[in-house]
Amino acid sequence: MGRFSPQKNPLAWAQVAGLIGRALPQVRFLLVGDGPLRYELQEKLAQEGIANRTALTGLRRDVPRLLAAMDVFLLTSLWEGLPRVIPQAMAMGLPIVSARVDGIAEAVQDGETGYLFDPNDRNGMAQACEMLINDFELRQAMGKRGREQALKNYDLRQMVAQIHELYQHLLSNRR
């Protein structure tokens, strides 16, 4: 889910999905978004042999509905702050497989709520996805821990209250 741009690294996503698709021919893929790399991405999906098993939805607003259709969430971004989609996917109970970059590494607990890899480790990402796809209990356990963490750390009301508390603290120290 995101913009098909160099930062989001969708061509690497297609390579990882291709590895998964060759190992697990029953798997289907879902890509949500659009952007300047869309046509290159479509070509890469065809090269990887998974174009006919990949739904490209374009831009969508029904993120929870789309996340509910997934078993594993894969993100191959090269850099990020904290993408909104990570806490959203975790809140939906999805285990995360992602590049270990910036805010993602703060949100995803490697081995607990998902797996983190060097951005160039496409084989590692594919193997982690395959393991999660094949192991329902592991997928459920990681998803449950991720959901608990997301609801605890990324609840909007809690975040607003924490920001308010910080501002109050900073303002009281100015006097």
Rounded to 5°, the CA angle 43-5-90 comes to: 105
Show the domain range for 20. Answer: 2-174
Average pLDDT of 81-85? 85
> How confident is the model over 7-63, as pLDDT tens digits?
999 999 999 999 999 999 999 999 999 999 999 999 999 999 999 999 999 999 999
For residue 164, is pLDDT > 90? no
pTM: 0.89
Q: How confident is the model at residue 128 (pLDDT cuts 50, 70, 90)?
A: very high
Q: What is the pLDDT of residue 44?
A: 98
CATH code of the domain containing 122: 3.40.50.2000
For the chain, the 3-state helix, strand and coil shares in percent, each to the nearest 5, are: 55, 15, 30
> How confident is the model over 133-147, as pLDDT tens digits?
999 999 999 999 999
The tally of domains found in the chain comes to 1
Contact 80, 101 (CB under 8 A): yes
CA pseudo-torsion sign 103, 148, 24, 44: negative
What's the DSSP call for residue 51? Answer: G
Tokens of 109: 């607990």
